[in-house]
Chain A
């Protein structure tokens, strides 16, 4: 299948970069770019393919980060197992939110609102409860070793995030070529029509939420390993929710490579603004928000939407239409 071949090519190419390039700047950019990609990919599963816009996706991110932290710090779990645990717990939270929202028939803005509400509730609880470190947060002591998922150079982290991104790519490709994916997109495009021809809309949306949450939780766990710190604001705050959604939308919702494109564009933009204006508080969010508005005004199907329009135009011209 063409998709799988492209994914393999992508993964191998990117995996070789840290082998040949030593520049810290480039490697850092690559790592954070892949991280942003994972966020966008996670959102894309539920938002792009499923049509359910979550404004509080940080809910799952924070869950993953905290599970990764608590499992290691308080339960002495190996970080690699913790990663799997984080994904499982994240997925469970996804199941909870999905079950609650979809059984009660929440859609559109109502769903966006409730995800926002849940994220905020988790944030406030994390602030108040001791085992999450409350306002102080949780810190991972430095113990570099592959077994500890702490790497002395960026390469280790890059291969780790690359692995997760590849997983997300494979899952997305599966959505494009499977019955489940077809059902999910049908629910997105017209839920009632889908139900009439045999699609169980509620459970389809539920599974999509779980998939999306699992990937988001993985990103959260990764974040904790790299930065070795997490607190309620970072975990459940709007910054991550917005980064995930804007990345997916800018790149093109419901596509395989859209999130990668979008995340990279946003990452470049925010790096540029940081270089031009320095570390001003909130500047990257201003950029994200403005980009979102501009994209909605001029390119609602995202960057890959432009590509596909040209493609159709080109095809039509070739056929002399």
Chain B
């Protein structure tokens, strides 16, 4: 699970690193993606893993549009406004889902839902293993894009110095929207890996977003490596916490880590304080 958390957190950290905003709508967006994967399976019988090439680009487009059309305009240049707008978006998305899908929980059945494989002494559900591998793969691809391609360089340039990048001819608005889109595309990918092993309901976003935020803060806002490592770490903590304290109090453990990190080391393990 840690790797999937990491993937979610990567998207969030990208958005923060480039746009310098905390995307409160991240959880709700994940929920949207999960529903997308779900319906692709239910209505069109497309396997979730195969749905990746559909869902990820769709989420990208959604993210790009959202940023370009709504968030950019509503910010009027002030960061506090962006906070409020993304909050608004998350509220709308979540409650529209509640409206249309009630609070029922859906999960899917595939040929391998119950399959397990043995790794050493442990018996692990196959879907979780695939999720782990897949998430790592996508994260690695993202890292490669960020560091080896022109696009990645452009994004990093804008993240570091917006005005300078603009002077170099980079279309900053476009890059902003792109980054947001990529961030949401990560969610799309994560959703594809997540659904076979998990479930979806309108509130599922909340649980994940908190974990994502904790990872981002733990790993350092804007640090990819941090997000990756943080994700794995939190995955481990959650499993242990869940075993020891039971599910709901285990969540408290994560919150407490979150609060503690915010207080004592807001730059995380790898990040730089903005």
Contacts and interface: CB of A to CB of B under 8 A. Distances in A.
Q: Do A and B touch, yes or no (CB under 8 Å, in the complex)?
A: yes
B162 to A, nearest CB: 18
A183 interface: no
B114 interface: no
Given A113-B213, A281-B102, A283-B99, A289 B91 contact: yes
Contact of A281 (B21, B73, B98): B98
Interface string A109-146: 11011100110110011011000000000000000000
Bin the interface of chain B by size: 35 or more
A282 B94 contact: yes
B118 interface: no
Nearest to A280: B99
A117 B255 contact: yes
Interface-central residue, B24, B93, B255, B266, by most chain A CB under 10 Å: B255
A288 B24 CA distance: 16
A300 interface: yes
A285 B94 contact: yes
B22 A296 contact: no
Contacts of B83: 53, 108-109, 112
A88 interface: no
Interface-central residue, A55, A101, A114, A297, by most chain B CB under 10 Å: A297
Contacts of B217: 113
B95 A128 contact: no
A108 B248 CA distance: 28
B71 to A, nearest CB: 9
Contact of B248 (A100, A124, A289, A296): A124
B70 interface: yes
Contacts of A293: 70, 74, 85, 88-89, 92
Interface of A: 51, 53, 55, 100-101, 104, 106, 108-110, 112-114, 117-118, 120-121, 124-125, 127-128, 238, 242, 245, 249, 280-283, 285-286, 288-290, 292-293, 296-297, 300
Interface of B: 21-22, 24, 70, 73-76, 78-81, 83-85, 87-99, 102-103, 202, 210, 213, 217, 248-249, 251-252, 255-256, 258-259, 262-264, 266
13 contacts: A104-B264, A109-B21, A113-B213, A114-B262, A282-B95, A282-B97, A285-B94, A285-B98, A288-B91, A289-B89, A293-B70, A293-B74, A296-B84
